Structure 1
Amino acid sequence: MSVTHQKIALPWFRLGLLCIWFLSLGLRVWGLNRFNTLVFDEIYFARFGNNYLNHTPFFDAHPPLGKYLIAVSIALGGFNPTGYRWMNALVGSLLPLLVAWLAYQLTQRRSYGLIAGFLAAMDGLLLVESRYALINVYLLGFGLLGQVLILAALKRRGIGRILGMGLAGIAFGCCIAVKWNGLGLLLGLYLTWMVAKLLPLGQLKQSLVDRPWLRIRQWHLLELGVLIPAIAALTYGLLWIPHLQQNPGSDLLSLQRQILDYHKGIAHQAHTYCSPWYSWPLMLRPVSYFYQRAIELSEPMPVIGPSLPQTATRWIYDVHAMGNPLLWWFSSLAMVLLVVLLVQRCYRIFRSPQANLALLQAEGVWIPLYLVCNYAANLLPWAGVSRCLFIYHYMPASLFSFLGLAWLLEGGLKSGKQGERIVSITLLCLVAIALVYWLPIFLGLPFPQSEFRRFFWFPSWI
């Protein structure tokens, strides 16, 4: 009976993932060349990618891998809007699948994977970052892949386990070679492992050890302390070689110091759209990536010449780097609930370990633990950073808030209480409706000036 169920369920799981990917890809490639100009940090990253092709020396405030990938995009598509953006669109379309894969590795449940992937596909910031030659999507892609590979390797033995850990080390090395804050996606695993080791589990039966959410405890010290860091560091160093060959005046260590000094030198309020780290979960200060006013829709974008008078404006083109508001607010609330749930259950466990042994071995402790630790590892370190920060620095942490919301919604959908099922379905529908509602400012679609306030509910969003 179970075999028959698996044969029926698997195609639906794959079909669901395929639908999520088609939706994600379609939203990312539709009108990819809409603005024939460099948008936001494309003025750096697209040009830097082109510099690699032209062998032009330059200084970059981030490690080079993201620009290598943009260079590949330009080499295959030319230095034009579609040419330097298509690689981002492709990689960005895969992020919801990686989120779904991570959810599946954590629980071995397809329903959780599909809900998590769906929520990631509904996010506005992931969508915007995927449509321009920026580098955050590469950081997320390699970081998620590293986490998935480690979770998959933990259920293997022998050479398969070593190979999986090695590939994870390469993925994390690539993640950090995009931006240094990719370290948070590895730090989250270390934090989860340390907390897991503190819990008074004692000796577990083999049947319990094999539960997916308990495998993190089986991570060997040699693997996490030597193998993965060594391979990640080696990968990081090797990826600098092309950049060093093109810029022979600096060595690897001096470049790291220059990058660090550059970021230290950025003022706390160096940009109009700077925002403190604690404001990100509430999405208080998104970033405007593109803004233009036009009289007619037939005008090419961007409009060349002096700005139009406000009274002459009929249409607005705006691209805002902001999340899907309802998704972000629901996800932030979900993380608060998970923290409360985790603290409550850990208190019960430490107070009476033997009486709560079943709870200690249950998913209801370990999944919140994994998600809260990874969320904290990717958010809280920003509290110690004094330079100007932007809402896109929240992107790695936001993925774990989506996973947290998905876990709660899946529980509601599988609940025997009709009210919980209705709430879960309603929230999923509201998130999808919100994506459609704010889609014009995610895709840069024109809208009448009279509708401007429809999208920007708060003054801090403008």
Structure 2
Amino acid sequence: MTSTPPDDFDAVVGAAPSAVTTPTLEHTAEHAAEPRGSRFDDWWARTVYTPARQRLWYWGAPLAVTLLAAVLRLWNLGNPHVLVFDETFYVKDSYTLMHLGYEASWPADADTKFNAGDTDIFTSAPSFVAHPPFGKWMISLGLAVFGAGNSVGWRISTAIVGILAVVLVMLIARRLFRSTLVATIAGLLMAVDGHAIVMSRVALLDGSVMFLALLAFGCLLLDRGWFQRRLDAKVARRRLAGGPADWGPTLWWRPWLLTAAVLLGLCSGVKWSGLYFLAFFAVYVVVVDAVARRRAGIPFWISASILKQGPATFLLMVPLALVTYIATWTGWLVTSGGYYRHWAQTDGQPWAGALNWVPLWFQNLWHYQTAMYGYSINLHVPHPYQANPLTWLFMIRPTSMYYAGSSLGQNGCASANCSSAITSIGNPLIWWAAAACAFYLVYRLARYREWKVGLILMGLAAGYLPWLLYTGRTVFQFYTIAFEPYLILGLAFVISLIIGTRTDAAWRRKRGLLVTAIFLAFVLAISVFFYPLWTGQQVPFWYWQLHIWLPSWR
């Protein structure tokens, strides 16, 4: 998102605004005489003083983080060679999608045979599914390349999405903070966090929701500057021509907003939680438009943003997202065997009266959507790893995706008892620090009204707040992957404040760099400690127990 390296390797913006004062000459002289920066800054200036070295840092640091993320997500990806947790639904549904165009039914003992490589045992009878098909189409790409008998093929698409999400976090962070250092730190935190690793190594849908919403978030970030520049130019031209600027112009051509609408339609085509991102992002755009009009000096900036640009924003985003969502059902639409595909013609009754013109395919699709909604909203089946959304930020009940115990000599176990586990426990230091930073950002937004803080919190709110309406429903901690990037960006923002800039007082700069270095060292050490429990490696039972930091983590 940035084409040229910044002049300063840590050009961090967003520091707390200070009160405007008129310094005395003595104060100015004392301030000027105070040492600035640190020895690290001096060393760094000597190290990257050439354009070639600056480019190496600008591209090399993010590339190194990307390679680390790839290794952590791709190493031994096929282990375990069994369908874990909800892979039993999504992998098999993906396989029938690529063969039939719709999700089909499987025999009762399908998992055992599928794990053994006997994959072509599905029937042609349709299966009712609770989620739209696009995320399963994404999983099917890996099955097409590696084959359904290879467990790498089950998970490779999800792993690639997880790697690309790390890259995207760095791109967004660099755009926000104008700092390669802070962007690299943000990417590193995403790369080594256990929750992000697990959700990249298990073929579930939520990682795709996260990635597509994050892409749309990046488009909103680009649209913000695009809109402000063109609004200012149009207002200036109108004033030069002597025309009124009470309401300001309506901008219809907003390519980044159109791209975001398509991405949010695809996101909703993975899981309906993508609709929450669409709603929050659309409201955010209206608010940003109002602020842009105020900065441009438009008198009626509130009414113009709501009554003039607001309807245009709605028409740019919502219909396109809806059409994109419907397009994700193409396989179901162009075939005849899908669930409820002929409901209106058989079990149901075609719409009559004013709605009799609606095509039957749409009536059938609408009925399917209402059935999906009814199933989802009434899902209250108890599960041992369900987690109340009120506890998500504190990581009270992470989800166990897989657990296998072994005794001495069994499956290569060299201890009295061994454990193999895949548990979506985030790196506790990253997760709890990010949660604390989220609360701090709420305070900071109220006090300083910084747009970057507002943007980050908007993404977090879109992924998290709607779930507070479903505290009685069966939901899980792993849903939080949808908003984890915004927790990471919030943490990166606070780290940027701690690091400061090279123009800060020497003592403050040294302290900020030291605190950050110590924090990252502990983060990496904890990730190394937890990595076996994120990847299904066999470890002694006592080692598994060392990771149960809270009783609810069992």
When normalised by structure 2's length, the TM-score is: 0.71
470, 493, 512: which is aligned to 1:407?
A: 493
477, 483, 500: which is aligned to 1:391?
A: 477
Letter of the 1:288 partner, please give it: S
Name 2:137's counterpart in structure 1.
68
Name 2:162's counterpart in structure 1.
92
1:437 Cα shift?
Answer: 1.3
Name 1:149's counterpart in structure 2.
219
Check the 8 A contact 2:192/2:527 in 1, yes or no.
Answer: yes
Q: Tell me the number of residue pairs that the alignment of Structure 1 and Structure 2 aligns.
A: 423
Name 2:12's counterpart in structure 1.
none
Letter of the 1:90 partner, please give it: I
Letter of the 2:373 partner, please give it: L
Check the 8 A contact 1:13/1:114 in 2, yes or no.
Answer: no
The whole-number CA distance in structure 1 between the counterparts of 2:279 and 2:406 is 47
Check the 8 A contact 1:50/1:74 in 2, yes or no.
Answer: yes
Where does structure 1 lack aligned partners over 5 or more consecutive residues? 206-215, 302-311, 347-364
1:233 Cα shift?
Answer: 0.9
Check the 8 A contact 2:420/2:539 in 1, yes or no.
Answer: yes
User: Residues 355-413 of structure 1, C-alpha deviation per residue, up to 9 Å, x if partnerless?
Assistant: xxxxxxxxxx1111111222122211111113111001222222211101101112222
* 1:327 is the counterpart of 2:412: no
- 49-58 vs 290-299, greater mean Cα deviation: 290-299
* 1:242 is the counterpart of 2:331: yes
Name 1:441's counterpart in structure 2.
533
* 1:130 is the counterpart of 2:200: yes
The whole-number CA distance in structure 2 between the counterparts of 1:101 and 1:161 is 24
* 1:31 is the counterpart of 2:76: yes
Name 2:355's counterpart in structure 1.
none
The whole-number CA distance in structure 2 between the counterparts of 1:201 and 1:382 is 33
Name 2:113's counterpart in structure 1.
none
The whole-number CA distance in structure 2 between the counterparts of 1:85 and 1:288 is 17
Q: State percent identity of aligned pairs.
A: 26
1:322 Cα shift?
Answer: 1.8
* 1:453 is the counterpart of 2:545: yes
1:263 Cα shift?
Answer: 1.0
User: Residues 250-272 of structure 1, C-alpha deviation per residue, up to 9 Å, x if partnerless?
Assistant: 521111111111112211x6211
1:85 Cα shift?
Answer: 1.2
1:10 Cα shift?
Answer: 3.3
Check the 8 A contact 1:188/1:375 in 2, yes or no.
Answer: no
1:33 Cα shift?
Answer: 1.4
The whole-number CA distance in structure 2 between the counterparts of 1:322 and 1:167 is 33
263, 270, 281: which is aligned to 1:171?
A: 263
- Select the structure of larger CA radius of gyration: 2
User: Residues 426-447 of structure 1, C-alpha deviation per residue, up to 9 Å, x if partnerless?
Assistant: 2222222221111110011111
Q: Secondary structure at the match of 1:274?
A: coil
The whole-number CA distance in structure 2 between the counterparts of 1:452 and 1:72 is 34
Check the 8 A contact 2:460/2:483 in 1, yes or no.
Answer: yes
* 1:367 is the counterpart of 2:459: no
Larger helix proportion of the pair:
1
1:47 Cα shift?
Answer: 0.6
1:149 Cα shift?
Answer: 2.1
The whole-number CA distance in structure 1 between the counterparts of 2:315 and 2:292 is 26
Name 2:513's counterpart in structure 1.
421
Where does structure 2 lack aligned partners over 5 or more consecutive residues? 1-5, 9-48, 105-125, 231-250, 298-304, 344-363
- 181-190 vs 51-60, greater mean Cα deviation: 181-190
User: 1:367 and 1:203, CA in 2 relative to 1: closer, same or farther beyond 3 A?
Assistant: closer
User: Residues 306-326 of structure 1, C-alpha deviation per residue, up to 9 Å, x if partnerless?
Assistant: xxxxxx952110110121111
When normalised by structure 1's length, the TM-score is: 0.84
Name 2:399's counterpart in structure 1.
287
* 1:259 is the counterpart of 2:304: no
